[in-house]
Amino acid sequence: MENNFYTDTILEKDDVCNLFKERARLDQGLKKGQKMLVFGRRNSGKTSVVKNIVGKDWVASQRNSVFVYIDFFGVETVDQMLSRMYSGLAGSLKRSFPIQQTLLTALDIIKRLRPSLKVDDSGSPSISLEISSEGKGGLESFFAALTELHLKKHHVCLVFDEFQDIHKIPEVEGLLRDHLQNLPAKLPVVLMGSKKHILAQMFSSPKRAFFNWGDHIEFGHIPYEEYTAYINARLRKYKLEMSHQVSEHLQNAVNRDPEAVNRICQELLSTFGEAGSKVRSITNLDVEEALAVLLEKRQSSMEEYLRHFTPAEERVLVAFAKQNGKVSLPTGKEFLAKSRLTSGGMKKILDRFVDDAVLYHEGQEFIVSDVFVWRHLKVFRA
Ligand X SMILES: Nc1ncnc2c1ncn2[C@@H]1O[C@H](COP(=O)(O)OP(=O)(O)OP(=O)(O)O)[C@@H](O)[C@H]1O
Per-residue mark of binding to ligand X, 175-204 (x: CB under 6 A): -------------------x----------
Smallest gap, in angstroms, from Cβ of residue 148 to ligand X? 30
The CB density around residue 160, as the number of other CB atoms within 10 Å, is 24
Q: Which stretch binds ligand X (CB under 6 A): 1-9, 24-32, 152-160, 239-247?
A: 1-9
17 binding ligand X? (CB under 6 A): yes
Q: Smallest Cα–Cα separation from 329: which of 197, 338, 254? A: 338
d(CA 254, CA 228): 14
Smallest gap, in angstroms, from Cβ of residue 381 to Mg ion? 29
Q: Among Mg ion, ligand X, none, what does residue 90 contact (CB within 5–8 Å per kind)?
A: none
Smallest gap, in angstroms, from Cβ of residue 357 to ligand X? 8
The CB density around residue 189, as the number of other CB atoms within 10 Å, is 22
With contacts defined by CB under 5 A, how many residues of the chain interact with Mg ion? 2
The CB density around residue 118, as the number of other CB atoms within 10 Å, is 9
C-beta of 192 vs 346, nearer to ligand X: 192
d(CA 236, CA 151): 51
65 binding Mg ion? (CB under 5 A): no
d(CA 171, CA 328): 36
What is the total residue count of the chain?
382
Half-sphere exposure of 223 (CA within 13 A, CB side): 7
Q: Among ligand X, Mg ion, none, what does residue 44 contact (CB within 5–8 Å per kind)?
A: ligand X
281 binding ligand X? (CB under 6 A): no
d(CA 202, CA 316): 27
Q: Among Mg ion, ligand X, none, what does residue 7 contact (CB within 5–8 Å per kind)?
A: ligand X
Query: Which residues inside 29-58 make contact with Mg ion, applying CB under 5 A?
Result: 46-47
C-beta of 141 vs 251, nearer to ligand X: 251
Helix 196-204 and helix 343-355, axial crossing angle in degrees, nearest 10: 90
CA of residue 35 relative to chain centroid, distance: 19
Residue type, 277: S
217 binding ligand X? (CB under 6 A): no
- Kindly list the residues in this chain that would bind Mg ion in the complex (CB under 5 A): 46-47
- Kindly list the residues in this chain that would bind ligand X in the complex (CB under 6 A): 6-11, 16-19, 40, 42-48, 194, 222, 258-259, 262
